[in-house]
Amino acid sequence: MKRLISRKLAEIKDEPRAREVVRHILSENFLAEEKIETEVTALLMENAKLIKDSASDYKRLFTLAKTKLARERGFIL
């Protein structure tokens, strides 16, 4: 908030309320990302045998699947 105000990027009349709104938005964002990660983990676990049988890298598949789900939902990572 201080940077936004000092750089005159935002005019904030009620700083405590603005902080509350920013915290709420960030919290919702983290929860949405966590939900996507949980879904990706479940999806990869369902296909664990296929992943193990192929020489695929779990972390790479996780990142690809997470990116795809986020894009489909209009979520920016």
Residue indicated by tokens 């940077």: 3
Rounded Cα distance, 18 and 36, in Å: 27
Query: pLDDT digit of tens for each residue in the chain (77 aa)?
Result: 788 888 888 888 898 999 999 999 999 999 999 999 999 999 999 988 888 788 778 888 899 999 999 999 999 88
CA neighbours closer than 13 Å in the CB half-sphere of residue 58 = 11
pTM over 0.85: no
Within 8 A by CB and 6+ apart from 37, the residues are 66
